[in-house]
Amino acid sequence: MGGAKNCPETPRQKMIGMMYLVLTAMLALNVSADVLNGFLLVDESLRTTIKATDMRNETLYDEFQYICEQNPEKTKEWLDKATQVKLKSDTFYNYIQNFKYEMVKLADGDETDPNLEVIVNLSNTDVTGTYGLVMRHGAELKEKLAEYKDFLISYVANDSARAERYRVIFDTPDRRSSHSGEMMSWEYSIFESMPLGATVTILTKIQNDIRSIEADLINYLKGQTDALDFRVNKIEALVVPNSKYVIKGGKYSAQIVLAAVDSTKVPKIYVGSRELGADGLYEVSCGTTGSFNYSGYIQMHKNDGSFAQYPFKSDYIVGEPSVTISNTDLNVVYRGYDNKFSVSVPGVASENIKVSVTGATCRQSGKGWIIRPEGTNKEVTIQVSAEVDGKLQPMGSSMYRVKALPKPMAYLNAGENKMYNEGTIPRGALINGTSFLEASYGPDGLLNLDFKITGFTLMTDYGTTEAKGNKFTAAQLQQLKQLKKGALVNIVNIKATGPDGKEQRLSAIPLKMQ
């Protein structure tokens, strides 16, 4: 041992030692570079998702603008709120984009990419702390996050679940350090000694949250009104009779309901002192002709435990025979669609009833009638006549509004009754080659129509490809098979045609591999 201590290293040994240190440092740098490249890939994926969400949001705003033009009195207040959401979201989104740019500029200087798609000094751990903590921009960002969170929640005060989701997504709690165990502020955990690439990715994630929640809130506001038809904006008692004109010997029937009532709370319905059943059906035997009046009230539980009463009154006439026309599918008729009607005249056999329509074609089908509006007519009139005692007598008419078929929802059918229009999806369901796109009005839709998907665009981290029809192409399947769990998949530019022959562009399907 003593001899070795007095034996100096040769130049060759010194060189080998120096090379070993350099190699060790290079390996460490390679590991760091791999991690930072991972953040770069996540950032790129988030930016792709933001672009897809922007397209979806533009479609939502266009639809909102359209229904406002059709019925401004009942929808303008909701469109104004949606406009405020867009303005607030755009302002906050652009603030974060400028935040990232100014922070990256401290590291890259004149080489800074305006679009931040390329960051030269990804590993720089000084500028994040300088910009976020020393210059106090991190505290300012935290305040703006809190302000934006409160703004969102103010629009969904009556939806506690949605409000809580917004609160969680944009919360900025203090965190415990994994090294020291001490509590540290949110902004300290984001900016102190963090690589520039990692902090930029975190900020891009916040931008993605802004666009996603913006879409959710606009959908919520849009759902507050039925502007394409009628929107109930107050609570009142309604009496809906089958007919106010009753044939002698028949029955008068009326459905008594509380408009805008919570379906989870069953009201009590009284006609005079008589309480009706839960279905609210009121029936009276009609043995004589004449006019008859009745009144009552609906009693409803309030949230504070007390009762509210909503009075109603109505009348009916018992007289000579007339016609009753009811639309068995809808309360409107749709252009380019076979609307099914049943037409009956009390006391007259169905084969003795004649139906004619102005503004649409009409044909008998079994015991009912098929009415199909074509062209640009905005309404149709149905005239009914009946053969009574060998003579054809007019029995009445009714006018219906004509509308275009509503836009359906796009789904990815993965088989076994598994339908996806957003959210997570098992990886196998995407790459098995049997999944396909379809469009419908969903399980609760009033219409059950066949829509044909004519094309769509697939967006993943590996690029954007188009397909005709409703199935993934071989190239798209190969592209999907390259993706790992957690990858984002967006199906956009979905086009479909319905029974009316018109092609429509449907909402995108954002998915995440599970």
Q: Are 92 and 148 in contact, with CB atoms under 8 Å apart?
A: yes
Whether 237-319 shares its CATH topology with 324-403 is answered: yes
What local confidence, expressed as pLDDT, does residue 277 receive?
A: 86
Q: In what order do the strands lie in the sheet with 360-365?
A: 324-327, 339-344, 368-373, 360-365
The two tokens of residue 494 are 């979905």
Closest CA to 355 of 330, 334, 325, 376: 325
Residue type, 1: M
Give the pLDDT band (50/70/90) at residue 251.
low
At residue 242 the predicted structure's pLDDT band, cuts being 50, 70 and 90, is: low
Percent of the chain at pLDDT > 90 equals: 40
Long-range contacts of 3-7 (CB under 8 A, 24+ apart): none
111 confidence band (pLDDT: 50, 70, 90): very high
pLDDT at 260: 63
Task: Sort strands 333-334 and 391-403 into parallel, antiparallel or unpaired.
Answer: parallel
* Least trusted range by pLDDT, from 74-78, 130-134, 168-172: 74-78
What pLDDT, on a 0 to 100 scale, did the predictor assign at position 247?
44
The tokens describing 175, both together, are 């965190």
Q: Quote the CA–CA distance of 283 and 270 in Å, as a whole number.
A: 13
Top-ranked range on mean pLDDT: pick from 114-128, 285-299, 430-444 = 114-128
Q: In this predicted model, which residue has the larger pLDDT, 193 or 250?
A: 193
Higher pLDDT, 290 or 161: 161
**Across 447-476, average pLDDT:** 91
* Residues 46/205, Cβ–Cβ less than 8 Å: yes
Task: Read off the pLDDT of residues 379-392 as tens digits, 9 standing for 90 and up.
Answer: 999 999 888 767 88
**What type of residue is 183?**
M
Q: What is the pLDDT of residue 225?
A: 64
Token pair for residue 286?
């009609």
Q: Is residue 21 within a helix (H) or strand (E), and if so which, with residue range?
A: helix 11-70
Fold of 324-403: Immunoglobulin-like (2.60.40)
Of 437, 438, 485, which Cα lies nearest the Cα of 461?
485
Residue 450 backbone dihedrals phi, psi, to 5 degrees: -95, 115
Judge if pTM exceeds 0.85: no
pLDDT at 3 > cutoff 50: no
DSSP 471: B
The burial of 260, by beta-carbon neighbours within 10 Å (0-12 exposed, 13-18 middle, 19 or more buried), is given as exposed
At residue 511, the pLDDT reads: 94
Domain ranges of the chain: 35-222, 237-319, 324-403, 409-513
Q: Is the pLDDT of residue 263 over 80?
A: no
Classify domain 237-319 by CATH architecture.
Sandwich (2.60)
User: What is the CA angle 50-53-57, rounded to 5?
Assistant: 135
Q: What SS3 class is residue 9?
A: coil
Which whole number is the average pLDDT over 144-169? 92
- Contact by Cβ (8 Å): 329, 339: yes
